Amino acid sequence: MNKQIKLYGAFDDYGDKLVDQYGRSRMFGGSETSNIFSPVISNMIFAKGFKPFYPNNKSFAFCLSHDIDLLYLRRPVKDRVLSLFGKSTYKSADNFNYVYGSLFKEKPYPAFSLKKLDNINKSWDINSTYYFLSLQEGEQDYNYNVNTIRDTVNLLKERKNEIGLHGGHQAYNNIEKLNQEKELFESVTGSNCVGYRNHYLRFDINSTWKILTKLKFQYDTTFGYPDCVGFKNGMCYPFHPYDFKQQAFLEIVELPLIVMDATFFFYMRLNDEQIKMIIKDLLKKVKAIGGVFTLLWHNNNISEKNLKLYNEVLEIITKEDPWISTSIDIVNWWKQQDLLTKQQSILNDIFAGQQSV
């Protein structure tokens, strides 16, 4: 088996013995990922004459997305009372009206406001994609009832954003659970849900893509290492995943995730300057070959210090003049322009050859 197909198909994830406590493959568990900051497979495809193109003659694309894990603080009543007297552990984020108003009945937390987030995005002319959890009370990481987000979802849609499903801890490898979350979510949004990312980027190479295909999702955008930004399988182009069991490409489209905010904060532990440096480097590599720069930024990371960084990151990206698109629009573009089909025939040539990465 050649190196390229092993990297592209994430061969090392099968039977990975170095997964973390959430079953996720890590960057250092992959033998083919030493070049994590280079889109090595996309580079090869590009070198074979493949030239992606975008509306308005833009040279590459940018997809911004948000996983909505938190809309409420969900703090204990004792802490809410204490915070009235400035003694809360959440003191820095408190304001009197909010605290007083949520003393008995919790209200959505202003710092996590999606309207605020969308206003920031719109100041950069960005339409983005919001992935919502669809959990029931008592489930792991339950934070909000989907029935209460109807107005927010409608507002975000009116403002030309895309709405997708953020599967919970139990969904990524369980078709019944994923279907239940999808149906509950669709009963609120009133439309078919075609876009997906799993919470915690939990992903099973054997089942996630197949389950999503069966449930008629058009694309997934979970595929990235939680512990390191970059190009997990050497791709910065949307692609049809390769399945080693069937020895065939799958119908679903993967929009690979290149940068998640939490990866910088909790795993790589970089400072703001280092974060911007890495983003510039990855962006340059994506732009050079007409790829899609995907960025996940959580709505709970837009307060205070993180807001400054967020705006700086958006400035760095938009300055490069990408086609700014929601996830579904970029996937549809690649389908309609036959880019996925052309790419696949080049990949077949590469996989049949013996070149090394």
Query: For the range 144-153, what are the long-range contacts, defined as Cβ-Cβ under 8 Å and sequence gap of 24 or more?
Result: 144/71, 144/72, 144/108, 146/184, 146/185, 146/188, 147/188, 149/71, 149/188, 150/188, 152/114, 152/115, 153/188, 153/189
- List 69, 118, 181, 220, residue binding Zn ion (CB under 5 A): 69
Which stretch, 26-34, 108-116, 196-204, 345-353, contacts Zn ion (CB under 5 A)? 196-204
- Name which of 13 and 69 has its Cβ closer to Zn ion: 69
The verdict on 181 binding Zn ion (CB under 5 A) reads no
Smallest gap, in angstroms, from Cβ of residue 221 to Zn ion? Answer: 12
- Name which of 32 and 67 has its Cβ closer to Zn ion: 67
- Name which of 116 and 169 has its Cβ closer to Zn ion: 169
- Name which of 69 and 162 has its Cβ closer to Zn ion: 69
Smallest gap, in angstroms, from Cβ of residue 61 to Zn ion? Answer: 23
- 225 — phi, psi (to 5°)? -80, 130
Q: Does residue 21 sit in helix, strand or coil? A: coil
Give dist(CA 351, CA 3) in Å, integer: 8
Residue nearest to Zn ion (CB): 199
- 180 — phi, psi (to 5°)? -65, -45
Q: How many residues line the site for Zn ion (CB under 5 A)?
A: 3
* DSSP states along 182-242: HHHHHHHH-S---EEEEGGG---TTTHHHHHHHTT-SEE---S-TTS-S-TTS--S-BPPE
Query: From residue 103 to residue 122, what is the string marking binding to Zn ion with x (rule CB under 5 A)?
Result: --------------------
Smallest gap, in angstroms, from Cβ of residue 133 to Zn ion? Answer: 7
Q: Which residues contact 202 (CB under 8 A, 6 or more apart)?
A: 22, 23, 24, 167, 169, 172, 222
- Name which of 54 and 200 has its Cβ closer to Zn ion: 200
**DSSP alpha helix (H) spans, the chain:** 3-8, 40-47, 77-84, 96-101, 114-123, 150-158, 175-189, 208-214, 261-262, 272-288, 305-319, 327-336, 339-352
Which stretch, 4-12, 70-78, 194-202, 308-316, contacts Zn ion (CB under 5 A)? 194-202
- List 67, 162, 254, 329, residue binding Zn ion (CB under 5 A): 67
Give dist(CA 286, CA 269) in Å, integer: 23
Smallest gap, in angstroms, from Cβ of residue 198 to Zn ion? Answer: 8
Smallest gap, in angstroms, from Cβ of residue 306 to Zn ion? Answer: 16
Smallest gap, in angstroms, from Cβ of residue 224 to Zn ion? Answer: 13
Smallest gap, in angstroms, from Cβ of residue 158 to Zn ion? Answer: 24
Which stretch, 45-53, 66-74, 102-110, 311-319, contacts Zn ion (CB under 5 A)? 66-74
- List 24, 80, 182, 199, residue binding Zn ion (CB under 5 A): 199
- Name which of 36 and 260 has its Cβ closer to Zn ion: 260
Binding site for Zn ion (CB under 5 A): 67, 69, 199
